[in-house]
Amino acid sequence: MTVASRYQKGKAVKIVPTGNEYDFIASIINDSNNPIKIYVDDLEGWYSEPITVKANDWIGLTADDEGKDILKCILRGDFKIR
């Protein structure tokens, strides 16, 4: 699924939830030829370290508290891409 940013018109991220509650809960996929940096707004403030996904690559979000919080924020559109 593609989720649009609430803060940037025309910016979106491709995310694939696994449906699992253990191990990896979702993948963030970058199909572009350029790396992307995703800044997540966790409603307490912006994470200082972006999530970096290399060009034509993917990363997995783990089932820990941080991974679950990041997934919730992205699904709400609470992120920016640079």
The per-residue pLDDT for range 9-35, each reduced to its tens digit, is: 999 999 999 988 889 999 999 999 999
| pLDDT surpassing 80 at residue 46 | no
**pTM for this entry:** 0.87
Please tell me the distance from the alpha carbon of residue 18 to that of residue 62, in angstroms, as a whole number.
11
| pLDDT surpassing 80 at residue 53 | yes
Q: What value does the mean pLDDT take over residues 55-81?
A: 94
Looking at residue 22, what is its pLDDT? 86
Looking at residue 41, what is its pLDDT? 82
| pLDDT surpassing 80 at residue 62 | yes
